[in-house]
Amino acid sequence: MVTILFAIALVLYLGASGTLAVSFADGRGSAPRAPAALIGFGMAIHAAALIAYTARYAELPLVGLAPSLSTLAFLITAFLFVTSLTETRPVGIVLVPLISILLAVALIIGIAPSGEPIAFGGIWFSFHVLLAFIGYAALSVAFAAGLLYLLQFRELKDKRLGRIFQFLPSLPALDSLGRRALVVGFPALTIALGLGWAWTVRFRGTLAPTNPQVIWGVITWLTFAALFAVRLTGARNVQRRAALANVVGFLIVLVSYLALRLFAAGGQVFL
């Protein structure tokens, strides 16, 4: 039943992605509202799937690669659902495929407990992981806003006021979305790292600087800090620079995760 619910959510997300792609290909003036409904239904089914997972396995879907990816996908969907009610709903053309990929990978792996022991448990662990995922979800939203900002900026610079220009939100709306995502994500990740380190120091007497999760968390935190620094420089075209930084920052975090997962995790539980 749990797998079926996740699969239904994936189908709805794919439907939303297809609807957005078709509307873009048809050259419509803006993103239609139908994808928002599909995203809403998908999010409701996705939430039911996560609840069913918790009830069946008596643990939150926060440990193990597949459960973690499904939870991260849900949080990105929650961000997207909010934007789908505003002018920035076309960011779904980037985020819905990302959500679909995350959930599809989770389904292929098998959304079930990993069975691996973890050293950090309890309610504080849940807060730690959930807040970290909120940070990563917010960075994904900032990435989507930044990518579309760069596309829209190019359209305006080249004076091509065609399909892309008509479909995408305005530059101020995209910049505002990227900024709000950082404002939500950075504090969430900061608190998550603080909780993790406080527990580690208290019970292990060390910051565990060589732990892949710690390394990735620090890389992500520094990336967030750099993204804010770009916005505070006051340089010319700071909004475009910030958009580019959002895209590059997301790629840095993604590549660092893949590298740590492949070469440094050593079989440890790592997202």
Report pLDDT for 269: 53
Distance between CA atoms of residues 178 and 145, nearest Å: 5
- Per-residue pLDDT in tens (0 to 9) along the chain, 271 residues: 889 999 999 999 999 988 888 877 765 555 566 778 888 899 999 999 999 999 999 888 988 889 999 999 999 999 988 887 677 778 888 999 999 999 999 999 999 887 665 656 678 788 888 999 999 999 999 999 999 999 998 888 877 776 777 788 889 999 999 999 999 999 999 999 888 877 777 666 566 666 778 888 889 999 999 999 998 876 678 899 999 999 999 999 999 998 887 776 554 555 6
Rounded to whole angstroms, what are the CA distances from 84 to 16, 21, 184? 11, 15, 18
Which 3 state secondary structure label does DSSP give 156?
helix
Q: Can you tell me the distance from the alpha carbon of 153 to that of 144, in angstroms, rounded to the nearest whole number?
A: 14
Q: Angle at CA 173, nearest 5°, toward 163 and 39?
A: 75
pLDDT of residue 206: 62
- Asked whether the beta carbons of 46 and 69 are under 8 A apart, the reply is no
Does the pTM surpass 0.85? The reply is yes
- 213 near 155, Cβ under 8 Å? no
Q: Half-sphere exposure (CA, 13 Å, Cβ side) for 28?
A: 13
> How many whole angstroms separate alpha carbon 174 and alpha carbon 30?
14
